[in-house]
Chains A and B, each alone.
Chain A
């Protein structure tokens, strides 16, 4: 039984290989970038604008609002990273309606790559926001004993991010495959619809968790600053 699209390899030349995960990722990237480029080619700053422009504005503004609600004070700074996370995972799930398509997020390699990106992005944004020393000091607060626990927490949550998304996406594809062999009518459709829903929820969860981690990393010092400000 095939658990991951990594196993479908189109071309290989050690150490390089082109498997289905990478190929579908490229396809998704191509569609997203070309679609964006086509729509944003003729943007209107006036009151009359195209439906596609409205659609993209709704998505972008919605993501921006979600980031702001998590507690990040400058959402546009994180929009590129968090927005792309959400759009990539959501679009990858959405395309499961296309026959023959294998979601790249159903590969643990992809989810691990995304989780690694989050793991790197959290200290990156934290240091950018509050400085190197202040960020690393947050690992030993309130006491030095917390340092190993904080490090374990960093690693475990990255792992959890990767495995959660992979498990959900893989299981969705797996259930449909199993159901197709048992009851080829109706049920696969229902499960496919359910899979779309879970995919959207997973995209939301993944990006929101990343936003929460980044918010936690960038806001560590703020309560102290507030305490100092109010005697």
Chain B
């Protein structure tokens, strides 16, 4: 008989004991170790995930802050640049205006000075010329300056050329009021008579005259009739002298302006 029933029973008992022993010493400890390791790994993974999420959120926050900071810096820089540019423009404009004003003032002062000098020079020249002429005429001819002036005036009257003479004659004839003879001083009666005679003679008519003394007509005689005029005055010479002096002053003033 191949089957020994006592051995079968003993082997059943042996097997059941082995099951219990292996459960106790093999399966349970090994499975417990596996479970605890899995749990630990899961915890570590969860912790790693959590820290990763945290790190990502922190990184995002930092990036956002960086971007914001960059924007703020750029805005501030831009604002500062614009302000600096505005200030520069304003200062430049102010300086330019100040320079322009100063220049204008200086030029104005120079012009005033030149004008004053001109006037003084003209006045002095006229007086000097007048005095020289008066003295020269008195010394040389023994006649008064007034007489000589009247003589010159009469000569110019006679020397009038055709067209001018015609225009003047026309003016005298159409005049409603007496023609005016102006001089820097009151003419003596013989001078008046000589001028009257010269005019009558020149235009072949009896011309009504009115004599006036005018200090503006410096050292000369002026005849005016209905807008037409014949004049001779030292002022003419003084005018030309003044022009020359003015030119000279301008030439002197130009380098200073530059």
Distance (whole angstroms) from the CB of A20 to the closest CB of chain B: 10
- A25-60 with Cβ < 8 A to chain B: 25-26, 29, 32-33, 36-37, 40, 43-47, 49, 53, 56-57, 60
* With known contacts A29-B17, A33-B22, A6–B30 Cβ distance under 8 A: no
- B4-27 with Cβ < 8 A to chain A: 4-12, 14-23, 25-27
CB-based contact B12/A113 at 8 Å: yes
- B23-56 with Cβ < 8 A to chain A: 23, 25-27, 29-34, 36-37, 40
Task: Specify which chain A residues have a CB less than 8 angstroms from the CB of B9 in the assembled complex.
Answer: 113
A177 an interface residue at 8 Å Cβ cutoff?
Answer: no
CB-based contact A44/B33 at 8 Å: yes
B2 an interface residue at 8 Å Cβ cutoff?
Answer: yes
* With known contacts A25-B11, A109-B4, A109-B11, A81–B33 Cβ distance under 8 A: no
B25 contact from A15, A36, A109, Cβ within 8 A: A36
CA distance A112 to B29 in the complex (A): 30
Distance (whole angstroms) from the CB of A42 to the closest CB of chain B: 10
A207 an interface residue at 8 Å Cβ cutoff?
Answer: no
**For this complex, into which size category does the number of interface residues on chain A fall?**
35 or more
B204 an interface residue at 8 Å Cβ cutoff?
Answer: no
CB-based contact A40/B22 at 8 Å: no
Task: Specify which chain A residues have a CB less than 8 angstroms from the CB of B20 in the assembled complex.
Answer: 80
A114 an interface residue at 8 Å Cβ cutoff?
Answer: yes
**For this complex, into which size category does the number of interface residues on chain B fall?**
20 to 34
B12 contact from A19, A40, A107, A116, Cβ within 8 A: A116
A25 contact from B14, B16, B40, Cβ within 8 A: B14
Render A69-112 as a binary contact track against B, CB cut-off 8 A, 1 for contact: 00000001001110110011000000000000000100111101
Task: Specify which chain B residues have a CB less than 8 angstroms from the CB of A68 in the assembled complex.
Answer: none
CB-based contact B23/A80 at 8 Å: yes
* With known contacts A6-B7, A60-B31, A109-B11, A37–B18 Cβ distance under 8 A: no
CA distance A29 to B21 in the complex (A): 9
A46 contact from B7, B22, B27, B40, Cβ within 8 A: B40
B3 an interface residue at 8 Å Cβ cutoff?
Answer: yes
Residue of B nearest to A7 (CB): B4
CA distance A83 to B11 in the complex (A): 17
CB-based contact A60/B30 at 8 Å: yes
CB-based contact A60/B26 at 8 Å: yes
Task: Specify which chain A residues have a CB less than 8 angstroms from the CB of B4 in the assembled complex.
Answer: 6, 19, 109
Task: Specify which chain B residues have a CB less than 8 angstroms from the CB of A57 in the assembled complex.
Answer: 30, 33-34
Residue of B nearest to A82 (CB): B19
* With known contacts A43-B33, A60-B31, A117–B16 Cβ distance under 8 A: yes
Render A178-198 as a binary contact track against B, CB cut-off 8 A, 1 for contact: 000000000000000000000
CB-based contact A117/B25 at 8 Å: no
Task: Specify which chain A residues have a CB less than 8 angstroms from the CB of B8 in the assembled complex.
Answer: 109-110, 112-113, 116
CB-based contact B7/A22 at 8 Å: yes
Distance (whole angstroms) from the CB of B10 to the closest CB of chain A: 5
Task: Specify which chain A residues have a CB less than 8 angstroms from the CB of B10 in the assembled complex.
Answer: 22, 113
Task: Specify which chain A residues have a CB less than 8 angstroms from the CB of B17 in the assembled complex.
Answer: 29
CA distance A79 to B26 in the complex (A): 11
CB-based contact A53/B33 at 8 Å: yes
Distance (whole angstroms) from the CB of B42 to the closest CB of chain A: 13
A26 contact from B6, B14, B25, B40, Cβ within 8 A: B14
CB-based contact A40/B30 at 8 Å: yes
B7 contact from A19, A32, A43, A60, Cβ within 8 A: A19
A61 an interface residue at 8 Å Cβ cutoff?
Answer: yes
27 A-B residue pairs with CB within 8 Å: A6-B4, A16-B6, A19-B4, A21-B11, A22-B7, A29-B18, A33-B21, A36-B22, A40-B30, A45-B33, A45-B36, A45-B37, A49-B33, A53-B33, A60-B27, A60-B31, A80-B20, A80-B27, A81-B19, A87-B22, A88-B15, A104-B11, A108-B2, A110-B7, A113-B11, A116-B8, A117-B16
